[in-house]
Amino acid sequence: MISQRAKNLSPSETLKISAKAKELIRQGKSVISLSAGEPDFKTPGHICAAAIKAIEDGFHGYTMNTGTPELRQAIVDKLKRDNGLEYSPADIVVSNGAKQSIGFTFLATIDPGDEVIIPSPYWVSYPEMVKLAGGTPVVLKTSIKNNYKLQPEDLDALMTNNTKALVLCSPSNPTGAMYTPDELKEIAKVLRNYPDVLIISDEIYEYIVFEGEHTGILQAAPDLQDRTVLINGFSKGFAMTGWRLGYLAGPAEIASAVAKIQSQETSAPSSISQKAGEAAYNGPLDDVLTMRKAFKERRDYVVNALLEIPGLNCFMPSGAFYVFPDCSAYLGKKTKDGSVIHTSTDLCIYLLEQHGVAAVPGDAFGEPAGFRISYAVSMDQLKEAIKRLKKGFNELEDE
């Protein structure tokens, strides 16, 4: 009954651990979930008001397939204002979340046999989406020594005649690492030697940055614009995960191929959400900055507290709302009841079942030595979670 395509797909590990946490909560256990990939804030009021008005005005029909002209213009204006980039509305396709923009970009550009280079630790969906599109994910392993950022020579070494695209995600899910302009310039030097390779630059965490302003590959190397697909959306910066609104900005040829796929798959994103998105981009950023400030306080607290756990290794991430500690010092240790922690998945299951903290194992992100903590929870919850984590790690013993 089931296609080979579906069988080859791995289910989302992040959703799996959240489901397990929910199940334990349902059984009455106290669980703090540090596994969510979404802000714990409310969508700003003026954005909600625009959506309510859209409903009241009867703005309920299908919109243009690529998004309303008004929203695409707001995106063009934002890309100019915040990122110094020139696009026209024809280069923009608005989708049901950035996830769909990325998935459709792969579908529009990848043929069987094409390779897509994905630095690990990676966002869980990239390799699966590449596989769904018939391509081959090629994982570029990075090291915590370099804050899990790809090194240009490693990128060069993985390029083959079949390389179709490179995925860049900055600030990163799951590590929070952010490339500096100089690092991006070095990556661009390598890319210039491979003029047919596409760049997919996922900048969904653009507004959640703590050191300086966000820089994308196109600010560092504007000459790459004709082969870069810029991915962004409203979920993270504006706390709008459930509104399902994201977009791509890219070469018109790719935008129209994605539009064709979208026209057959989903028609267009929600009309109401698009009005909300327009208000987000045309309105004030005060709430975004308030959320950023809260995330920064939590980041400082959580990273400093994690560094007090002997053997855990992590760096201060520059963006997003994740920390990705290296827990290799704990692999091979034993729990009080004698079971051995072989992998980061074993570790996360132990922390969840025995200490009531849900984090996501690095196995899910292609980096088995680490695990991801999301600090998109209140400071009180974070403090309690840290107390539990300290106890949990402290109780692990050498075999």
Site for ligand PLP, rule CB under 6 A: 37, 97-99, 123, 169, 173, 202, 204, 233, 235, 241, 246
By C-beta, is 98 or 155 nearer to ligand PLP?
98
Give me the residue label for tokens 């804030």.
41
By C-beta, is 202 or 287 nearer to ligand PLP?
202
By C-beta, is 204 or 385 nearer to ligand PLP?
204
How would you class 266 by CB atoms within 10 Å of its CB: exposed for 0-12, middle for 13-18, buried for 19 or more? middle
By C-beta, is 243 or 393 nearer to ligand PLP?
243
Partner residues linked to 92 by β-bridges: 249
Shortest CB 171 distance to ligand PLP, Å = 9
Q: What is the DSSP string of 337-355?
A: TS-B--SHHHHHHHHHHHH
**Token pair in block for residue 290:** 């308030």
Shortest CB 360 distance to ligand PLP, Å = 11
d(CA 291, CA 195): 39
Shortest CB 169 distance to ligand PLP, Å = 5
Cβ atoms within 10 Å of 171's Cβ, excluding its own: 26
Closest residue to ligand PLP in the complex (CB): 97
Q: Which amino acid is at 171?
A: P
By C-beta, is 177 or 386 nearer to ligand PLP?
177
Q: What is the DSSP string of 113-132?
A: T-EEEEEES--THHHHHHHH
Shortest CB 123 distance to ligand PLP, Å = 4
Q: What is the DSSP string of 73-102?
A: HHHHHHHHHHH-----GGGEEEESSHHHHH
Shortest CB 295 distance to ligand PLP, Å = 14
By C-beta, is 317 or 392 nearer to ligand PLP?
317
For 268-290, letters b (16+ CB in 10 Å) and e give bbbbbbbbbbbbbbebeeebbee
DSSP letter (8 states) at residue 237: T
Q: In angstroms, what CA-CA distances link 214 with 7, 69, 178?
A: 38, 27, 8
**Token pair in block for residue 143:** 């090291």
Shortest CB 150 distance to ligand PLP, Å = 15
Q: Looking at the chain, list the stretches that DSSP marks H as alpha helix, in order from N- to C-terminal side.
A: 4-7, 13-26, 45-56, 69-83, 98-109, 125-132, 152-158, 181-192, 217-220, 252-265, 271-282, 286-306, 344-355, 379-394
Shortest CB 64 distance to ligand PLP, Å = 20
Contact 371, 347 (CB under 8 A): yes
Shortest CB 390 distance to ligand PLP, Å = 28
By C-beta, is 173 or 270 nearer to ligand PLP?
173
Shortest CB 399 distance to ligand PLP, Å = 36
Shortest CB 229 distance to ligand PLP, Å = 13
For 121-147, letters b (16+ CB in 10 Å) and e give bbbbebbbbbbbbebbbbbbebebeeb
By C-beta, is 119 or 246 nearer to ligand PLP?
246
Contact 249, 92 (CB under 8 A): yes
Contact 164, 195 (CB under 8 A): no
Partner residues linked to 120 by β-bridges: 141
Shortest CB 96 distance to ligand PLP, Å = 8
By C-beta, is 96 or 163 nearer to ligand PLP?
96
By C-beta, is 169 or 199 nearer to ligand PLP?
169
By C-beta, is 87 or 205 nearer to ligand PLP?
205
